[in-house]
Amino acid sequence: MNPQASLFPSAWLKEAQANLAPHIRITPLTYDPQLDIYLKWENHQLTGSFKARGALNKILSLQPWEREKGIVAASAGNHGQGVALAARLFNAPVVVFASENAPAVKVQAMRELGAEVRLVPGGYGEAEIAGIEYARASDMTWVSPYNDGKVIAGQATLGMETLAQLPPGTQFTWLVPVGGGGLIAGIGAAIKSEELAHSALQARLIGVQSVASPFMYHLYHHGSQDGVREEDSLADGLSGPVEANSITIPLTRTYVDDFVLVTEEEIAQAIRFAWQRYHERIEGSAAAALAAALSGRVNFRPAVVVISGGNIQPELHQRLVNPA
């Protein structure tokens, strides 16, 4: 038996796929023959991001009393939208803690979906700490964006769905943007499962972060995120430290073959490229994986590039795609 399979049972992933089928969209996968890459467009997902998958799967799995207590989350914006959308199915109250620097378009979207948004000074890390403390003090249900098996299983459905769309019998390199690691852990569980993936077992899985916020990169390569300095990044959804002892840390060490970093300029170029070549609006976090392919930092082909979301501030997008 593949030792990786026991880390995240395929039954969890199949259950998530069945649970989510009535609630999410099957997003497009397109092939660019010139670059020999397949692009998975999760910017077409509900709420404009893959985060809806994990949030929905988690909240669907809660007991009624857990939802009735109210739900608390911390988010750079996309997870909060997914949580608010899922909670609305059950009329459950939601409080989302976000950085005061979170993009206005994401904050507005969370509020429009019914969430109470509390802005916290600092970055995502400070918002996460505030959210965990508030949930504990208020006896509300905490929904992590990554440190939760049900959330990870929900994100794994992206990998399962993509496997079904890809041509069989080919070994692919997957490029996945990484913040807390929930998406890449879920995709790894799907594409490296003997039962689910079959011929994809030899797939290469590469995580991508920005040089501006390389917390998981340092955890993967050096075993610690101590001393990592964070700077402002176009990839706001990938920013912030990883919760201590997060289950995504051992999962990424098991499933991921490598981590690479891309620069802010490479992210900006990828946002511009996606618009000019495919007429797709993508956010900086999603552009990180495409940047790794375009910059040559990852040259393995054929590759699957996960475009994780499209919730970018309109003025910023306009400025990036039409530079003066």
Query: What is the 3-state secondary structure of 204-219?
Result: EEEEEEECCCCHHHHH
Class at the top of the CATH hierarchy for domain 52-142: alpha beta
Q: Which of 150, 181, 162 is nearest to 255 (CA)?
A: 181
Residue 194: the pLDDT is 63
Region label for 133, one of left (φ > 0), alpha (ψ between -120 and 50) or beta (otherwise): alpha
Strands 303-307 and 37-41: parallel
Same fold yes or no, 10-50+148-321 and 52-142: yes
Q: Do 302 and 32 meet the contact criterion of CB atoms below 8 Å apart? A: no
Residue 192: the pLDDT is 87
Stated pTM of the model: 0.93
Q: What is the distance between the alpha carbons of residues 147 and 181, in angstroms, rounded to a whole number? A: 8
Any idea where the domains of the chain sit in the sequence?
Answer: 10-50+148-321, 52-142
Q: Do 286 and 77 meet the contact criterion of CB atoms below 8 Å apart? A: no
Look at residue 130 and tell me whether its pLDDT is greater than 90.
Answer: yes
- On average, the pLDDT of the chain sits at 92
Residue 324: the pLDDT is 65
Can you state the angle between helices 314-321 and 264-278, rounded to 10 degrees? 90
Strands 141-142 and 173-177: unpaired
- The CATH architecture that domain 10-50+148-321 belongs to is 3-Layer(aba) Sandwich (3.40)
Q: What is the distance between the alpha carbons of residues 9 and 6, in angstroms, rounded to a whole number? A: 6
Look at residue 195 and tell me whether its pLDDT is greater than 90.
Answer: no
Residue 4: the pLDDT is 45
Q: Is the peptide bond before 302 cis (omega within 30 degrees of 0)?
A: yes
